Amino acid sequence: MSLDAAAIHERLQAKFGQKLSHFEAAAKQPFAVVAADAIADVAAFLKADPELAFDNLMCLSAVDYPKEMPPRMEMVYHLLSYRHAHQFVLKVHLPREEPRLPSVEASWGVANWHEREAFDLFGIVFEGHSDLRRILLPDDWQGHPLRKDWQDPDFYNGMHVKPTAQMAERAAGGEAIGIGPFAFTPPNKHVG
């Protein structure tokens, strides 16, 4: 039996009253904000409860909001129930420095890789994750690139990260780069 977002939020509130801080009913896809330490229990409840039965985690995203008041990172959980054909969205607000929250891997196995990706690209640490290590970037990469305050490093393992920028600087400084038809021309502002 398919429930709408308000009904789902009611059931959640009945169980986890204080842990839910906000319910945005007016959004196109209504979401509830859950406290970071309760997310694993909320996930387990949402999966196990026979009327909610959220057996599928559609998407697990992390978003960085440095300019909001207060600055935060959000974890967004898009849930789906195949049994009842209803959907819901959970959000968790995290501080931008040292973001940590429990892993929901025990409820949905797919969260393993999604959380590894969030750790890799944002630096969010998932407690209780079985194998938290980088997934997309090289294992020895420093930093978390999808954060809004990310700066590209100059070098990675001895390689220029932005060769055209460095070459443009050197060319501006008078150095001749390239020979004849292969002489280096500074890039225009749309390239590299």
Partner 1 sequence: MAIETAWTAAELDTDEMVLQMGPQHPSTHGVLRIELRTDGEVVKAARPHIGYLHRCFEKHSENVDYPGVIPYTDRMDYVASMGNSLGYALAVEKLMAIEVSPYVQTIRVIMAELQRIASHCIAVGTYGMDIGAFTPFLHLLRDREKILDLFEWTCGARLLYNYNWIGGLSHDVPDGFVRACRQFLREYEAITHPELMDLLIGNKIFIKRTAGVGVCPVELAINYDLTGPNLRGSGLPRDLRKDEPYSGYENYQFEVPVGKGEYGPVGSCFDRNIVRAHEMAESAKIIHQAMDRLEKLDKSDVREKVPKRVKPAKGEIYARSEAPRGQLGYYVVADGTGVNPYRVKVKSPCFTAMSVFHVLAKGMYLADIIALIGSLDVVLGEIDR
Q: What are the residues binding partner 1 (CB under 8 A)?
A: 27-29, 55-59, 61, 63-64, 76, 78, 82, 85, 89, 108-110, 112-113, 121, 133-140, 145-146, 150, 157
- In whole angstroms, the minimum distance from the beta carbon of 158 to partner 1 comes to 11
DSSP 60-73: EEEEEESSSSS-EE
Which residue lies nearer to partner 1 by CB, 37 or 68? 68
Question: Nearest-CA neighbor of 119 among 109, 103, 110?
Answer: 103
Minimum CB separation of residue 139 from partner 1 in Å reads: 5
**Closer residue to partner 1, CB minimum distance, 42 or 57:** 57
**Residue located via tokens 């079985």:** 130
The residue (of 41 and 55) whose beta carbon lies closer to partner 1 is: 55
Closest distance of CB 75 from partner 1, Å = 11
